[in-house]
Amino acid sequence: MTTTLTGPRIAPKSGTLKQIVVFLHGYGADGNDLIEIGKQWQAWLPDALFISPHAPDRCSMAPTGRQWFPLSMRDSSELWKGAMHARPAIDRFLDDELANANLDESKLAMVGFSQGTMMALHVGLRRPKAPAAVLGFSGTLVGPEYLEDAKARNAKGEPPPILLTHGGADEVIPVDALFMSAEQLAKANIPCQWHLSPNLGHGIDGECLIQGGQFLAKNFGLPLPARPRRTR
């Protein structure tokens, strides 16, 4: 039986739901960890519903948090098995939200952080139809050797647009993961944009948020948001 996911949400600022942005949190956190990003992007995405589901399982390493799958050895086999195990619950959640909103994947964006990025890439690349965008913060691609089954395509026959951001000082998932993921996707003919914040650790900084918000707006076919003005 597939677990039903729940979590915090932010209604469209305009009052009219035209897009859905789903946040997938990192290991040991929960849906509350990322939902506030939605408030920062509302001005750029006024018709978007922002949803941040809690992962289904309690985290053994952080009992107050959640996990999409356990992390013990953190080897490639464990990551792949974990992603495969977690995928059905996320797919069902996305299916239900799209059906409730009477929208299709072209109006869906998936945003992940760390382990959530692993799941956003894993699920987004294997949906029946490609989402409008996949945005990953501080994560990595799981199972590059299985990319032959990453067949999600949009109406133009293209894979989902992907943007990966990473900190150059990431102490949890080293920055090499960014370049390896981009290279592996390219070998599978899946284009990937990336952004590197040189002094950032395992997190999301202001520039990552700006790059991410602009990326989502562009791929929803919205006007490119103006960058915030710097104050002296």
CATH (domain of 214): 3.40.50.1820
Alpha helices in 17-173 (DSSP H): 36-41, 76-101, 115-124
pLDDT band (50, 70, 90) for residue 26: very high
Cβ-Cβ contacts under 8 Å for 168 (sequence gap 6 or more) = 175, 196, 197, 198, 199, 200
The verdict on residue 143 lying in a domain is yes
The verdict on residue 167 lying in a domain is yes
Give tens-digit pLDDT for 44-99.
999 999 999 999 999 988 888 999 999 875 678 889 999 999 999 999 999 999 99
Q: pTM for the whole thing?
A: 0.95
The pairing of strands 193-197 and 108-113 is: unpaired
pLDDT at 231: 47
The verdict on residue 107 lying in a domain is yes
Catalytic hit among 33, 52, 114, 181: 114
The verdict on residue 224 lying in a domain is no
- Work out the end-to-end distance of the chain between its first and last CA atoms, rounded to an integer number of angstroms: 56
Q: Is 57 helix (H, G, I), strand (E, B) or coil?
A: strand
Q: 55 with 2: CB under 8 angstroms?
A: no
% of the chain beyond a pLDDT of 70:
95
pLDDT band (50, 70, 90) for residue 2: low
pLDDT at 228: 62
pLDDT at 188 over 50: yes
pLDDT at 201 over 90: yes
pLDDT band (50, 70, 90) for residue 227: low
Give tens-digit pLDDT for 50-62.
999 999 999 988 8
The verdict on residue 152 lying in a domain is yes
Where is average pLDDT lowest: 48-62, 113-127, 179-193?
A: 48-62
Check residues 153 and 229 and name the one with the higher pLDDT.
153
75 is catalytic: no
Rounded distance between C-alpha atoms, residue 80 and residue 84, angstroms: 6
60 is catalytic: no
The verdict on residue 137 lying in a domain is yes
114 is catalytic: yes
Give tens-digit pLDDT for 132-181.
999 999 999 999 999 999 999 999 999 999 999 999 999 999 999 999 99
Provide the number of structural domains found in the chain.
1
Question: How many beta carbons lie within 10 A of that of residue 214, not counting itself?
Answer: 18
Q: How far is the CA of 80 from the CAs of 94, 104, 227, in angstroms?
A: 21, 27, 37
What domain range is 41 assigned to? 9-219
Buried b (16+ CB within 10 A) or exposed e, 32-70: ebbbebbeebbebbebbbbbbbbbbeebeeeeebbbbbb
The mean of the pLDDT values for the chain is 94
Cβ-Cβ contacts under 8 Å for 157 (sequence gap 6 or more) = none
Find, among 192, 204, 121, the residue nearest to 166 by Cα: 204
Catalytic hit among 33, 52, 170, 197: 170
The verdict on residue 228 lying in a domain is no
The verdict on residue 227 lying in a domain is no
